[in-house]
Amino acid sequence: MKYNFDAVPNRRTPNVLNKWTWYPKDVLPMWIADMDFPSPPPILDALRKQVEHGVLGYEDTPKTLLETVAARMAKLYNWDVSPDMIVVIPGVNVGYNVAARTFCTPRRGYLIQTPVYNEFHEARKKTGVPQVEAPLVKKVEGNRISYEVDFDAFARAVRKVGMFLLCSPHNPIGRVYSRMELKRMAEACIKNDVLIVSDEIHSELLLGGAEFQPMAALSREIANHTITLTSASKAFNVPGLFCGFAIIPNKKLREKYKETVIKMGLHVASPGLTAARVAYSGKCDAWLKELRKYLTTNRDFLLEYLLEFMPGIHITVPEATYLAWLDCSELKLEPSPYEFFLKKAKVGLSDGGKFGRGSKQFVRLNFGTPRRTLEQGLSRMRKALRDH
């Protein structure tokens, strides 16, 4: 291994509010979706160079950056994206909120598949359009859980909305959807003239042998109905730089989308552009390969640990992301597993209740951290359960 993911800097920096300073010092944070590892060296070098230059003036997006993004899509997925299809946005959350503002109405809102990323639920408040849910179906096998799309529920729900907000790969369940599943969802959307907004921010964070299929790369017809949102922020761990891309092959949709971006005065700060350029250039691919291996080992360790020491917790087997979805229903922890583990184990997890109705007995655990931190968190949880 060329890169050492066991060695990380202390993130308890004075006057900085991040996941390590959010809670009191005795809490181990395993919640918000960033990793404790430094970003890849080529990105850090480029950012250093930018700062050392000394002038941090206004910058716009060079065409070469859009070409780099398009080339990455071609290289990874054989997906033919042209630079003029790409709109630069200050992050993926902004990206789908812009889409909801542009394409939804007070009568036709957006569809989500629950449980899903907590911020998807916030779009309703942020944009004032209604939210419709097509819950995923949970399957249980031993202490493992998995989720499937209920296509009947999906077909009923999609009739009521203007936009389907897909999370692919899925946060928090870690699923990488198959081509068949994506196709069936897309067909239902197209049939009902519903725009697909595919949040693919976790697409390069694949575990084990998982392979990712972008929704829009399935066919020209699907591409024509889809806005793909992506970013280097998750895989290359630069989420604080807020830079993302909306890939919109359909010119009419793109022009409308761009109009909202301009009206809202949305800009990306220059370090975000720099990081994206370097991340997508291929210079960080060796780092990413090792990161995925490290995360896969962390995932496997977590699965084994739970099975052996906390079998009452049921867990997904994430195929992507560094997030695990833990079902604690069997343990009946009061007032909720989130509060139990925060107070009794001093481990700060994400509260399942924020990911959708019926998820209060779940927590999301971030394993994008050195193995020893993961071990420490799990051992605190185990002890708290033993004492309970």
Ligand X SMILES: Cc1ncc(COP(=O)(O)O)c(C=O)c1O
Could you tell me the smallest distance in angstroms from the CB atom of residue 173 to ligand X? 11
Q: Write down the least CB distance from residue 208 to ligand X, Å.
A: 20
Minimum distance of ligand X from residue 51's CB (angstroms): 22
- CB closer to ligand X out of 126 and 344: 126
The CB-of-141 to ligand X minimum distance in angstroms stands at: 26
Q: Which residue number, 190 or 197, has a Cβ lying nearer to ligand X?
A: 197
Nearest residue (CB) to ligand X, 368 versus 384: 368
Question: Which residue type occupies 112?
Answer: I
Among all residues, whose Cβ is closest to ligand X?
91
For ligand X, the closer CB: 40 or 272: 272
- Residue pair 347/381 in contact by the 8 Å Cβ criterion: yes
Query: In whole angstroms, how far apart are CA 111 and each of 23, 101, 159, 217, 249?
Result: 33, 14, 10, 21, 22
Question: C-beta of 388: minimal distance to ligand X in Å?
Answer: 30
- What does the chain come to in residues? 388
The residue among 305 and 369 lying less far from ligand X, judged by its C-beta, is 369
What's the helix, strand, coil split of the chain in %, to 5? Answer: 45, 15, 40
Q: Does the bond joining 41 to the residue before it have cis omega, within 30 degrees of 0? A: no
How far apart are alpha carbons 128 and 125 in whole angstroms? 5
Residue with tokens 């399957």: 139
Task: Please give the Cα distance from 354 to 292 (Å, whole number).
Answer: 27
Q: Which residues bind to ligand X, rule: CB under 6 A?
A: 33, 91-93, 117, 167, 171, 199, 201, 231, 233, 239, 244
Q: Which is nearer to ligand X, 68 or 366 (CB)?
A: 366
Pairwise CA distance, residues 337 & 351, whole Å: 8
Question: Shortest Cβ distance from residue 79 to ligand X (Å)?
Answer: 20
